[in-house]
Amino acid sequence: MHPRTLLVLSLLFFLFNSSHPPQVSSENIILDFPSFTLRNPTLLGDAYLQNGLIGLTRDLPVPSSSSGTAIYSYPIPFFDPNSNSTVSFSTRFSFSITSLNPTSFGNGLCFFLSPENRNLGSQGRRLRLVNSSQLTKNKFVAVEFDTRLDSQFNDPNDNHVGLDIESLVSIMTADPKSIDIDLKSGNSITAWIDYKNDHRKLNVFLSYSNLKPEMPLLSVEIDLSHYLKEFMYVGFSASTEGSTELHLIENWRFETSPSGRARNHPHNVSDNSVITPRFQVPNSSSKKHHRGLGLGLGIACPALICLFVVFGWISVRKRRGVSKQSFTTGLVAGSRQFSYRELKIATKGFHSSRIIGHGAFGTVYKAYLVSSATISAVKRSKHSHEGKTEFLAELTIIASLRHKNLVQLQGWCVEKDELLLVYEFMPNGSLDQVLYDQSERGNLLKWVHRYNIAVGLASVLTYLHQECEQQVIHRDIKASNIMLDGKFNARLGDFRLARLMDHGVKSPVSTLTAGTVGYLAPEYLQCGKPAEKTDVFSYGVVVLEVCCGKRPIEREQGTQRMVNLIDFVWGLHSEGKIMEAADVRLKGEFEESEMRKMLLVGLSWANLDSEARPSMRRVFQILNNEAEPVFVPRVKPSLSFSCGLPLRIEDIIVSDGEEV
C-alpha cells in the first residue's frame, strides 16, 4: 500500500475513533471494612488489632494515659475535576466506649480527615488531634464523640458529639442523651456522618442498631471545601488521661461521590485497598447528542481530512529523523506509554504547586491520574542531549528491574519534545527530607525506621550487584535518591546515571565522573572507574548519615571549615567513643547494639581502600544477624594515587551537594 494511502486511512481511523472517546469521570470511592486485618488501616501510637476489631487505646486494668490512631494508608481524592468542586462524602462505623471503672472515663474518640498521614497530637484530652504546645498547628476536620467535660474546650457536658475544625473547640455540639444514647454505655453504637457539598451541610446520626435514623442528631450548615484539600487521609483517633477507658472500632465504611450527581455502583475497596475508577456509561440523552455530533462530523469530515493529511504528511517528513522509536526501542513489554495530554492534566499543566522535587535531571511533579484514580510522580527531564541520553538509560534499565525496595516505574511519555517518566508516588518523600527538613519541624525519623532503611537499601543493592542478569551500577547512591513509602520502607530511585555491566568484567574508565560530592568513592573520583565497590562506598556514607543525622560534608559551626562525616566518625572510633556519633536528636531512644553495629558497618563500607570493602550481600547478612561484623581498624586507612589530583575536600568541593 502506498505510504500516502496508509497515512490517509490511519488519519480516518483516528478521527472517527476519537470523536467518541471513553469518558473517565471521578466516580464514587468506597472503603468497606466489615472487620479489620493487618492489611487494613495503618495503626499508629497505642492502636492495635484484636479479633477483627481496632483498639485505639491500651486495654489495661489500671488507669493510664494512652492514645492511638487508625488511618487509611492511602490519600483519598476530595476534588472532582469534572465539576471543579469538592466531592461529597459519607461514612458509617460502629464503635464502643467502655471502662472497667465506672467513675474513670477518658476523652472519647473521633473520626477525622487530615491532609497529613501521620498524627502527632498529644495524649489525654486532645484526642491525639492537636499538640499540647501548639493547639492550632495541625489541620483537620473531625467529628468527636466526647466523654469528658473539659472547660478548656467549652464542652457542654461529658457526653456530646461535636464538629471540630482545626481546633477542639467544637463549632456545634449535640447531646446523644436527647435520643437516649449514652456514649459511655459500652454498647455498640453505629454512627453515620454525611456531608453534601452542594447543600453545604454536614449531618451526624447515631443509633444502637444498624438502622439509620430519619433525623440527624447533629446538623451543621458549613462549607467544608475551604478545609478539604485535593487529597485527604481519613481515620480514627482516641485518647485517655489517667483512666481505663477503652475505645474500639468494630467496622467501617467510607464513600465519596461527585457533588450534584446520583451515585452509581462504585468499585469497593476492602482488603486489597485499591481505588479503581470506572468508565462513565453514556445515557440516552448523551447518545442523542453523540448522534448529532456524528452528523456534524460527517459533513465536516472531508475538509478536516484534507487538513489532517496535509499537516500530518508535513509533520511526518519533518520528524522522520526524530521518531519515538529511537527512544523506545528495546523497552520491556508491560511498561505503559502515557499520552502527554493525560500527564499534563494530571499535573495541572505542570503547575509549580505540584512540584515535589528538583535535581540535575529536571523536575518531579505530583500527579493525580484520573484513569486509575491514583497518585503518581512524574519526572520531567531537561531538554538537552544529555537529558535524552539519561532518560533513555533510566527507562531501559529501570523498566527491567523488579524489587520491593525500588521505586516502581509505571510508564513513560515521549511526546511534544517532552521526556517524561511516571513512577509510583512516595508519600514520605526522600530520606534527606525526612532526616533534615522534617526533623526541624518536629517529625523525627525513629530508630526502627532508620535501621529498616539500611536493611532495605542493602537488600536492593545486593539484587542490583549480584542477582540481576547484568550487574547494575547505580553510581549515585545518596539520601535524596532514597525514597520512603507510606511505612518508611526504603525505595531506591533515579537510575539516570546507572550503567549495565556483565558480571566479572572490569568497568572501563569513564571520561566523566558522575555522582555527588560526599558520596563519591576516592578511587572513582581520582580515576573515573565505576564499579560495584563505588556503590558500596556510597552506601556506607548513607548509613553513617542515618546513624548520625549529619550530612556527608558540613561546614563546622562558626567557621568555614568543611567537616567530612567519615573523618568525624572514624575519629571517635579511634578514641573508643564511637557511640558519641549517634544522632543526639534521638535522645538515646535506640538499641545500643544496633547503633554500634550500624556505625561500624558504615565505616567498613566507606573504607577508603576499595579492596577492604565487603560486598553488599555481606552487609545484608550482618544487619540481619546472619554473619559476624567485619573488623574495623581504629586508625583510618590512607591511600596514595599515581595521578596527582587533590584529595582534600576544600579543593574538590564547590558547594554543598554539587554534582560532578
Quick one: pLDDT band at residue 652, thresholds 50, 70, 90? very low
Q: Is residue 274 part of a domain?
A: no
Quick one: pLDDT band at residue 360, thresholds 50, 70, 90? low
Take residue 433 and report the three cell numbers written for it: 527530607
Compute the average pLDDT of residues 508-518.
55
Q: Is residue 289 part of a domain?
A: no
Q: Is residue 499 part of a domain?
A: yes
Take residue 69 and report the three cell numbers written for it: 490512631
Q: Is residue 15 part of a domain?
A: no
Is the pLDDT at 117 greater than 90? The verdict is no
| 380, 407, 424 - which closes a domain | 424
Is the pLDDT at 255 greater than 90? The verdict is yes
566 close to 505: Cβ distance less than 8 angstroms: no
Q: Is residue 481 part of a domain?
A: yes
Quick one: pLDDT band at residue 126, thresholds 50, 70, 90? low
Average pLDDT of the chain is: 76
Output the pTM of the full model. Answer: 0.52
If asked whether residues 500 and 380 sit together in one domain, one would say: no
Number of H helices, E strands in the chain: 14, 31
Domain count within the chain: 3
| 391, 424, 457 - which closes a domain | 424
Quick one: pLDDT band at residue 641, thresholds 50, 70, 90? very low
Q: Is residue 66 part of a domain?
A: yes
**pLDDT at residue 184, rounded to an integer:** 86
Cα separation, 407 vs 266, in Å, equals 29
Residues 6+ apart with CB under 8 A from 43: 49, 54, 68, 69, 70
Is the pLDDT at 286 greater than 70? The verdict is no
> Is 379 within any annotated ligand binding site?
yes
Task: Tell me the CA distances in angstroms from 548 to 150, 207, 501, 657, one per residue in order.
Answer: 42, 53, 33, 18
**pLDDT at residue 135, rounded to an integer:** 44
Residue 535: which domain range?
Answer: 431-652
Residues 6+ apart with CB under 8 A from 385: none
Is the pLDDT at 137 greater than 80? The verdict is no
Cα separation, 580 vs 596, in Å, equals 10
DSSP at 431? H
Phi, psi of 80 (to 5 degrees): -100, 110
* pLDDT tens figures, 581-599: 999 999 999 999 999 999 9
If asked whether residues 446 and 420 sit together in one domain, one would say: no
When mean pLDDT is compared across 250-264, 274-288, 493-507, the lowest value belongs to: 274-288
If asked whether residues 361 and 232 sit together in one domain, one would say: no
* pLDDT tens figures, 332-345: 445 688 999 999 99
Is the pLDDT at 2 greater than 50? The verdict is no
Task: Tell me the CA distances in angstroms from 439 to 68, 583, 585, one per residue in order.
Answer: 22, 12, 9
- For residue 539, give the nearest of 434, 423, 431 by alpha carbon: 431
Q: Is residue 378 part of a domain?
A: yes
Is the pLDDT at 219 greater than 70? The verdict is yes
**pLDDT at residue 516, rounded to an integer:** 74
**pLDDT at residue 547, rounded to an integer:** 96
We report the CATH number of the domain holding residue 406 as: 3.30.200.20
Q: How many CB atoms lie within 10 A of CB 67?
A: 28
Quick one: pLDDT band at residue 207, thresholds 50, 70, 90? very high
If asked whether residues 542 and 625 sit together in one domain, one would say: yes
Quick one: pLDDT band at residue 259, thresholds 50, 70, 90? low
Q: How many CB atoms lie within 10 A of CB 421?
A: 27
* pLDDT tens figures, 289-334: 444 444 444 544 455 544 554 445 444 444 433 344 444 444 444 5
We report the CATH number of the domain holding residue 63 as: 2.60.120.200
271 labelled catalytic: no
**pLDDT at residue 634, rounded to an integer:** 85
* pLDDT tens figures, 57-79: 887 766 777 888 999 988 889 98
Quick one: pLDDT band at residue 512, thresholds 50, 70, 90? very low
If asked whether residues 132 and 91 sit together in one domain, one would say: yes
* pLDDT tens figures, 437-491: 766 666 789 999 999 999 999 999 999 998 887 889 888 899 999 999 988 999 9
If asked whether residues 34 and 97 sit together in one domain, one would say: yes
Cα separation, 424 vs 37, in Å, equals 24
Quick one: pLDDT band at residue 143, thresholds 50, 70, 90? very high
Percent of the chain with pLDDT over 90: 31
When mean pLDDT is compared across 130-139, 421-430, 439-448, the lowest value belongs to: 130-139
46, 194, 476, 485: which is the annotated catalytic residue? 476
Quick one: pLDDT band at residue 118, thresholds 50, 70, 90? low
If asked whether residues 493 and 611 sit together in one domain, one would say: yes
When mean pLDDT is compared across 171-185, 244-258, 394-408, the lowest value belongs to: 394-408
If asked whether residues 387 and 450 sit together in one domain, one would say: no
Is the pLDDT at 113 greater than 70? The verdict is yes
We report the CATH number of the domain holding residue 596 as: 1.10.510.10
Name which residue leads in pLDDT, 131 or 55: 55
If asked whether residues 381 and 417 sit together in one domain, one would say: yes
Residue 646 burial (CB < 10 Å; 0-12/13-18/19+)? Answer: exposed
| 222, 253, 269 - which closes a domain | 269
If asked whether residues 240 and 127 sit together in one domain, one would say: yes
Q: Is residue 115 part of a domain?
A: yes
Compute the average pLDDT of residues 556-569.
83
First to last CA, the chain: 53
If asked whether residues 163 and 80 sit together in one domain, one would say: yes
- For residue 238, give the nearest of 119, 115, 94, 91 by alpha carbon: 119
* pLDDT tens figures, 230-245: 888 999 998 887 777 8
Quick one: pLDDT band at residue 122, thresholds 50, 70, 90? very low
Take residue 314 and report the three cell numbers written for it: 508535513
If asked whether residues 378 and 447 sit together in one domain, one would say: no
